[in-house]
Amino acid sequence: MVESERVTIRLPGERIQALQALVDQGKFSTISDAIRAAIDKFVEGEFTPEYIEKITVELPKGNVVNLKELVQEGDSVSVDDAIRNAVREYIRKRVSKSMEELER
């Protein structure tokens, strides 16, 4: 088990209510788990290697459902992976097209 320390923070009531809603929806077991997940995501983003730039993509729910279907069908291992694959393919096509135009 990883050794941990206690940290006390103060949050506005509406943030506590939002965190409790996430717990009530079953997304996290406790408010502490939700806060730990948020901190993990923040720290991971701040310490990404310099040669990698992370971006956040907000998608309509329908697109997320489609991406989850790709994962269930085995086309991707995760929604993040499906998005990375789509971006890679898009960039590959754009670079190829640009190279063809330069060769003319």
Q: Report the CATH fold assignment for 1-51.
A: Arc Repressor Mutant (1.10.1220)
**What's this model's pTM, rounded to 2 decimal places?**
0.53
- Domain locations in the chain as residue ranges: 1-51, 55-104
Query: DSSP labels for 11-74?
Result: --HHHHHHHHHHHHTTS-SSHHHHHHHHHHHHHHHHT--TT---------HHHHHHHHHHHHTT
What CA–CA distance (Å, rounded) separates 41 from 54?
Answer: 11
Instruction: State pLDDT tens for residues 32-62.
Output: 999 999 999 888 878 878 877 777 778 898 8
Cβ atoms of 34 and 19 within 8 Å: the answer is yes
What CA–CA distance (Å, rounded) separates 77 from 89?
Answer: 16
**What per-residue confidence (pLDDT) applies to 1?**
64
**What per-residue confidence (pLDDT) applies to 16?**
96
